[in-house]
Each structure stands twice: as structure tokens, then as C-alpha cells.
Structure 1
Amino acid sequence: MTRPGPARPETTGPGTTERQTTGSGAGRTGAAGLWAIAASLCCFLVTALLGPSAFQPAMDARFGEPPYSLDVHPSPYLVLGLVVVGVAAGSAGLGLCFLAVRRGWRVRAFPLVVAGLLTAVAFMFMPPVGSTDHLNYASYGRMAATGHDPYETRAVDLPKDPVAGAPEEWRSTPSVYGPIATGEQAVASWIGGGSVRLTVFVLSVFNVLAFAVTALILYRTARDEDRRLRTALLWTCNPLLLFHLISGAHNDVLAIAPMVAALTVFDACVLRGRWRMWGGALAAGALTGVGGAIKMPAALAGGGPAWALLRELWKGRRWQAAGGLVALAGGAAATAAAAYALAGPHALDQVREASNMVSFATPWHLLDRMLGRGSQRDVIKTGSLVLGIVLFLLLARGLPKDDPLAEHPGQIAERRMATAFVLAWLLAAPYVLPWYDGFGWALLALLPLSRIDWILLAHTAALSLAYLPARAPQRIGMPHDLSWLFTVVRPTVIPWTLLAVLAALAVQCLRPGRSPASAPRPPASAGSPG
């Protein structure tokens, strides 16, 4: 790929310079997008800095212990306004950047990556916002560290323990997380001791490390500067992900890191000879098993390498492909089996219980309410499975099929199918929360530009607005005049919005002619990369 001569740099946003541009229109659009992203992150940072509020549960205060914040007790109206503006600005900023990139706008990716990682570190030093899941993580870790089984023990069973008894919600529910996640929580509890605050800080450190590792993998495996910019926008500088995964301290990012690493290791080894293929498949399978032993949906990405090996089998490379399939499945099964064997088979009990849950903001809630809440969950589970299969087929058609930067022909197919599996789950599952979308964003960052980026952006933005905040309203003293957020927006407006998102996805993927995922690159004569 050849590039034209360098253009005169122009300032386009905080900390970046425009490297190449197709015109002032694209440059202004991209600059506006970056400023909107910066404004979004400022809103989220201020929300965390203000201290305990409707979005931030209070924790024990010990002098000098991180995380740190003010203690001004902001009104629910203020923090709600900050988060709504942050979600709106972040969504608009990403959309403007997507549009500008499509028109040929380019900036250096490295400053954006640095800015995103520094923002993640800043969030790490402030208490989590948005939900109370971090208190549950700390509780389960404390149980494990003190000799209790978190898969059988509940927070209500240890009400006098300063950490195990700290959760606000899910107090009667044992751990639903995988054994490796429980191990990480136990290590954090061992470091934090009897301090909820310090335990939560250690958990946040682990999350930021996993986020940074994922960012590094995505950046280092990108084949050119344009693709690095894409990974920065979709992952490292994505304000919605920074808010949910890092500021919210959700452990999904721990499962995303090995998931992305598995695909990268497989890419590096496939079609490099029989022994190297088998070794790469074994390592990819083991990493997939690690991700699945943290959060099960991470294992879905293993469908990508499996698909690539089946493709090789179909092309006639029988011994190599068959051995690779055995190594892939064996590595994943052995890793997951070892983890669950140490925890005990009862560690899956709550996972089975969780499979019957329907979250208020999904379209399935509309059907659940129509059928009589909780009475026909088997119908919903079957329907979600069927919908997931349909969405997988649509996404397999709609995601990019060509990548001029791919190292080998099977790479784009492997990444496309892994992304299709994960996105089909995200869009079809009866129980989904906004931070789950991190799985989809990480995999989309491995693919070229596509219209599916807009679909996931709409999905994440809608779910973000559904959970303002993701806490029980009776526990946070939410004013009565804001009750419509919980009674109208979350259970009605957002489910219908997500139905519209599904319809938009179907239309995009079924468009005749050119693949709906393709995004034409601007011609070289316009001043963009050729």
C-alpha cells in the first residue's frame, strides 16, 4: 500500500495532530468527534470524583487508602445529568469519528492510545460508579480468602464481616463468576484484608492491567496506522467502554483479554506448518478456556478458530486441520475442566440459574411481561436461541469478508466468525447489561471498518441510557420525579429501541449488491492513503 506525501499538520483535538485529510469537512468532523469524546470522559471523571452519590455506593473510609474521591454528596440530578451528557457526547463523538474516518480523515493513533490508558489509570484511582457489582466481587473474594465457598455462601450468611457483608444487591445469591475470576477476587481480598475500599482498588488495578494488555495486543497486531486508529477508537479511547468496564470496575475485561489473545496467537501460528498450527491451536484453546473460566461468553470466540480449521479441513488439509481441531478443543476443555474441578461442579449451579434471567432493558422483557413474568422462561430461552442462530447467519454475511491487510486468507474468516458468534449472543441474549458489549467492541476492532460498528454503537448507547444508574432505586434515594427512568425508560423505551436496532442490523446485512460491511476507501487523488 503506497501513501502520498505528508500533508501539513493541523490541530484536530486534544493531544493529536491531523496526519492526512481529504478536506476540511472530514477534518472538522473528526476534530469535533475527538472533542466530544474528551467532553464525555470529563463528565464521567467528574461523576467519579464527586464521591458517594446515586451512581457511587459509599465504602468504608480509611485514611490514605485508595481509591480517592471528594465527599460532597452531589444531588441525583447533577450526577444523572453528568452521566446522560457523557453517554450522549461519547456516542456522538464516536459516531463523528466513524464518519470522518470513512471520509478519509486520519490522525496518529499513539497519542489516542496514551490518552485512553491515562484515563483508565485516573478512573482506577477513583471509586467505581454505575453499579454495585464491585462490592459483590469483593465479597466473593473475601469468602474465598477466609475459607468459605463463594459458590455456596451468600453475603447474608456473613452479615458481620466488613467485606463479605458489604454488597447492596444480590445479597442472597452465591457467586455466578468462573473459578479464575474467583481466584482473582481472592487475591484482591488477601491484599485488601478487611478493607472494602482497598480490596476494590486492587480489583480495579487488575481490570486496568487487563484493559491495557488488550489495548497493546490490538495496537501491536494492527498492520498499519489506519488500523491502529481503529483499535484506538473502538477500544482504548472508547468513552462508553472506559465508563462501564474501567470506571464501573466490571470484571468482563478480565475475560476479554485472553479472548483477544487467543485469536492473536492462533493468527500467528495457523498455516505455518503442521506442528506450529497444532501448537497455536492448543495455546488458543487454552486461552479460550481461561476466558470462559472467567465469564463463559468469552468461549464463544473460540468458534472463529474452529471455523478456520474446518475451512482448512474442507480444502483438503485433513491431517493438519483435524489435529488443529483436536488441539483447540483439547486446550479449551482441559483448561476449563481444571478450573472447574478445583472449584467443584457446583460452581456451575448459579450459571444455570442465571440462564433463566431476563433483564428489563432487553426486547425479551416485553415478551416476558406479555406472557406473565417468569412463567414462560423456556419459551424465551428457545426464542433467544433461534434468534441467535438467525443473527449469526446475518452477521456472517454482513461482517467484512475482505481484508487487504490480512496475513493469510483464513484470517479474516476466523475473525469474522468469532465476531459473529459473540455479537449474535449480545444481540439475542435475554439478559444483557451495557458492559457486556465490551466483548463485541474488542472483536470488531480486529476487523476493517463496517456498518456493524454503528449497530453496536446504538446498542451500547441504548443500554447505557437504560441503566441510570444500575442500582436499586429504593437504595439510592432517587427522587420520585425521576422514577420514570426505572418504570418507563428501562422496561419499555429501551427494549423497543433495541428491537429497532435489530431491524436495522437485518436491513444492513440483507442489502443486495455490495457486501453491507464494505466501506469504500477514499481515492488516493483525494489526498487519502491509497
Structure 2
Amino acid sequence: MNRESARRLATAVPPACVAGSILLTITIAALGPSAMVPPLPGAAWQPPYSLDLRPGGHLVVALAAVAIVAGTIGLVAGLRGLRRTGPSTAGGTRWLVVAGCLAAGVLAFLPPIGSADHLNYAAYGRIAVLGLDPYVTVPSALPQDPVAGVVEEWRNTPSVYGPVATAVQALASWVGGDSVRLTVFVLALVNAAAFVATALLLHRITRRDPVRQRRAALLWAVNPLVVYQLAAGMHVDTLAIAFVVGALVVESGVLLGLGIAVKVTVGLVALGPAWQYRRDARRLALIAGAATLTVVVAYWLAGPHALDQVLNASKTVSFATPWKLGQKALQALIGSGAYRAWIQAGSLVLMAVLAWLLLRRGADADGQVGADGQVDADGKADAAQVAVAFVVAWLFATPYALPWYDGLALALLAMVPASTLDWFVVARMAALSMAYLPARQRDQPSDLGWLVTVVRAQVVPWLLLALTAGLVWWAARAGARARTRRV
């Protein structure tokens, strides 16, 4: 193979892998109920639609694995190619955004894949429409209900989501009635709209720089991991991300408050505007006041138990995080016990250290751009940079992590200059995606149990531990270099 042929092949690999991954994701959904796709009771004429072929678990899990691996290869190759060649490969970004938005639109008419979370959303909306409190009433309390009765893993868990999410879920239930299928479809339309809104916001905010605009499209609109987890997976995180990205773009406290009222953990983004306007008391008071008022009103309307399950969930340690390794080590060394208080304290310390290192590293940039996420002339990080630092620190430090949580970091990274941090977040999301292949456990082939016992519980935690150590090392070195230059 001559040099020109090799160059053409290298140029063709990223789009082929990205497109192939997204098409595989669509295929899994289109095949219908399977180990990857929970069945949706309802009239056959109602959306979402599928071929209802009932494929075997081995096939769909294999397709999902290929989609994740190929998508990661295509994403990494695309980002690397953009860094090497710069503006020469930055053309056609608008069509990338259009393609990503079309994929999200198609997926809205297909059943969600990867987990059964959308059944939880439908159940909580149903509970609210029935006049009960979804923050107290669990789906198993309504075993004969046509909607609440189909919940899988979270039958005995009240809602952990914010009041805005619950309001959207209630609206979907009101439209869908007794049909799980139609209820999920309404939720899917909202999810697709949020995905598209985020893609368009990121495209607009980076419009002055073709390279950054293409990078934003790669990190969100046509990112196969984001499409797989957030567009096809239909997680409520998509709506929260749309609100907080919008809040940073238009500097709106109301949008920030709505995002927090969807999922409370996105409140870390508020630290960005707080830092940016720390010397502008009037502007800071306006944004903080609007955000606080929005959150207080939303949670007041939701009732006194709206945060109960959030507090309980904060003490949970998921299998795929390094903290599970630490918990097992403590149990072996000291004796039985959850050691949750120790793990929580350790995670907070790690988060503080990582955030400090990433904020110090954030000064390692030149130039002055306002709201589009770069750094001011004095080397002070603006809202998006600070938000990235805290969100990434939280993701790498939290004892409870799922792959779709990383969508928030990728959306924020699309607003700031490229750095090695991109690779850490992409690698983390890819590893967690493989760990939760799929997140749903019902209907899984018995001989694939090693995906949980080996990949999720052993391999991925060690990978994430190595990634976290690497992130600390890199951020410390980058911060030291930035400090040396300032001196």
C-alpha cells in the first residue's frame, strides 16, 4: 500500500466507524424486544415501532459491543485527525450536526435500548397522574397497574429524579394513559428534542472557529457513545444537559435551575457562572437568585420527600467504580461492613483534589473569548472551564457511576478548547459502556454472566482506577507547567 492509499484509508476510517456504530445502534432498536430492548406493552399501531423480530441475546449484545468499540475507534480517530490537520478537515460540520439530529429523531420512533430506565420514568409519571407521590410510592405498590406493573429492576425504589423530570414524566403518562408504549414515545420525543437542542447550541456557540465547531459535533451530535447512551438509551440526563448547556450559552439562571430540578447533580455546573461573575455582584445575584428561586419553587411544589431518594442514592457504591474495589479490600482486611461513610469521605477528598488540579490546569491557555468557553487574558477560567473541572472531578471521584452520566462532561468539553482531558473522558465513557453491556439484566443469556462478574466487577474498576491515577498525574503536570509560565 503506497502513502496516498494509506492516507485515504486513514481518512475513511473515522466516518465509517462512526456511521457504522450509529447504524448498529439503530439496528438493535429496530429489531425489537430482546436482551437489549425491554418490551413495551401497548397497541401495535402506537409508536415507538420495531420489526418485532425478537433476536437472541447473544446477537444483540454482540452488536452493541461492536457498536461501542467501533464508535470509540471512530471518535478517537476523528478527534486525532482534527487535531493534526486543523481547518483542512473542518468542513462539512453542518452535515455532521444534521446527521446526528436525524439519528436522534429516528431513534425517538424506535424502542429505547440498553437499560430499562425508561420504564421507571413511565411508572413515576403514572404514579403522579394517579394522584400519588412518586417520591414515596414505589412501582411495586401498584402491581396490577398496566404501566407501573412493568418496571423491572427498580420496582421497590421511589423516584430519584427532580420535579421537572417528574413533571415531564407525568405529562407523558397523561398522554399515554394505560399504554406503556405511547408513554415512552412521548418521553422519547422530549429526549430527542433535548439532544437536538444541545447539538444546535454547541454548533452555534463554536461558530467562530471551524475546528472547534467540528470538534463539538464529534463530541456530541455524532458521538457514537453519546448517541448509544443518551439518544438511544433515552436517559433523563439528556434533558438536564440541554438545560445547563443552554444556561451557560445564554447566561440564564432560570435554565440552570430547571436543569438542577431535572437532576440535582448537574448543579455542579452552577459553580461555573459563580466563578465567572465573582467580581460582578449584581450579575451574580441575578443569575444565582433566578436559579435558586426556580429550584426552590420546583422542589416546594414536588413536596417534602423529593430529595429523600437522592440522599439515599448518594451512599451507594456501583460495581464498575474503583470504590467497589476499595470496599471489598476493607471488608477483607477489617471485616464485613459497607464502609460507606469512609468511601464518601474519600470520594469528596479525591473530588476536591481533582477539581483543584483541573482548575489550576485551566490556566494553561491563551487568548480571550467570552461566552464560547475559552479563557480570558489573565488566564482565569470562565464558566464553562470551571464547570468542566468540577463535573469531571465528580465523575472520576463519585462512588456511583453509570456511562450516561459522562454525557454532561462531553457536552461541556465541547464548549472549551481541546486538551488531553478529552481522551480521559472518552476512555472512561467507553469503559463504562462496556461494563454496562447492557445495564438491563432481565432476559440476559445465562452464559454471558461473566459480563457482570468479570467485566463490570473486576476489569472495568481497575481500568477506571488507572484512568483516575493518570488524570491526577496529567493534571498535576499541566498545572505545574502553567504555573511556571505565569511566574
TM norm structure 1: 0.85
Matches within 5 A, 1:452-471: 452-471=421-440
Question: What residue is the counterpart of 2:313 in the other structure?
Answer: 354
Matches within 5 A, 1:23-34: 28-34=9-15
Question: What residue is the counterpart of 1:140 in the other structure?
Answer: 124
1:340-379: CA deviations, max 9, x gaps?
0001121111011101111100001111222337521000
Structure-2 separation of matches of 1:109 and 1:260: 20
Structure-1 separation of matches of 2:313 and 2:166: 17
Structure-2 separation of matches of 1:398 and 1:25: 36
1:413 positional shift: 2.5
Question: What residue is the counterpart of 1:289 in the other structure?
Answer: 257
Question: What residue is the counterpart of 1:488 in the other structure?
Answer: 454
SS of corresponding position for 1:183? helix
Question: What residue is the counterpart of 2:246 in the other structure?
Answer: 261
1:405 positional shift: 6.7
Question: What residue is the counterpart of 1:366 in the other structure?
Answer: 325
User: Cα distance 1:260–1:88, how it changes in 2: closer, same or farther (>3 A)?
Assistant: same
1:393 positional shift: 1.4
Matches within 5 A, 1:3-82: 28-82=9-63
What letter is aligned with 1:488? V
Structure-2 separation of matches of 1:130 and 1:252: 15
Question: What residue is the counterpart of 2:340 in the other structure?
Answer: 377
What letter is aligned with 1:93? G
Structure-2 separation of matches of 1:375 and 1:35: 46
Matches within 5 A, 1:30-429: 30-104=11-85, 105-222=89-206, 223-266=208-251, 284-310=252-278, 313=279, 321-372=280-331, 375-399=338-362, 401-402=364-365, 404=367, 406-407=369-370, 409=376, 412-429=381-398
Structure-2 separation of matches of 1:106 and 1:207: 28
Which of 386, 394, 403 in structure 2 is aligned with 1:434?
403
User: Cα distance 1:94–1:63, how it changes in 2: closer, same or farther (>3 A)?
Assistant: same
Question: What residue is the counterpart of 2:446 in the other structure?
Answer: 479
Structure-1 separation of matches of 2:51 and 2:328: 41
TM norm structure 2: 0.92
Unaligned stretches of 5+ residues in structure 1: 1-22, 267-283, 314-320, 517-530
Provide the alpha-carbon RMSD of the alignment.
2.0
1:197 positional shift: 0.3
1:224 positional shift: 2.4
1:133 positional shift: 0.2
Structure-1 separation of matches of 2:130 and 2:163: 16
User: Cα distance 1:112–1:27, how it changes in 2: closer, same or farther (>3 A)?
Assistant: farther
1:470-498: CA deviations, max 9, x gaps?
022xx314222x21111111011000000
User: Cα distance 1:510–1:29, how it changes in 2: closer, same or farther (>3 A)?
Assistant: farther
Instruction: Provide the aligned length of Structure 1 versus Structure 2.
Output: 466
> After the TM superposition, which parts of structure 1 deviate over 4 Å for at least 4 consecutive aligned residues?
23-28, 512-516
Contact 2:362 2:381 in 1 (8 A): no
Structure-1 separation of matches of 2:63 and 2:148: 31
Structure-1 separation of matches of 2:84 and 2:6: 9
Structure-1 separation of matches of 2:156 and 2:9: 52
What letter is aligned with 1:84? A
Structure-2 separation of matches of 1:232 and 1:192: 33
Structure-2 separation of matches of 1:224 and 1:412: 19
Question: What residue is the counterpart of 1:274 in the other structure?
Answer: none
Contact 1:368 1:380 in 2 (8 A): yes
Unaligned stretches of 5+ residues in structure 2: none
Structure-1 separation of matches of 2:108 and 2:481: 44
Question: What residue is the counterpart of 1:506 in the other structure?
Answer: 472
Identity %: 49
Contact 1:211 1:257 in 2 (8 A): yes
What letter is aligned with 1:406? V
Structure-1 separation of matches of 2:59 and 2:361: 41
1:188 positional shift: 0.5
SS of corresponding position for 1:346? coil
Contact 1:174 1:350 in 2 (8 A): yes
What letter is aligned with 2:49? Y
1:400 positional shift: 6.6
What letter is aligned with 2:316? M
User: Cα distance 1:24–1:303, how it changes in 2: closer, same or farther (>3 A)?
Assistant: farther
1:414 positional shift: 2.1
SS of corresponding position for 1:249? coil
User: Cα distance 1:299–1:42, how it changes in 2: closer, same or farther (>3 A)?
Assistant: same
1:233-265: CA deviations, max 9, x gaps?
001111100111111110101100110111111
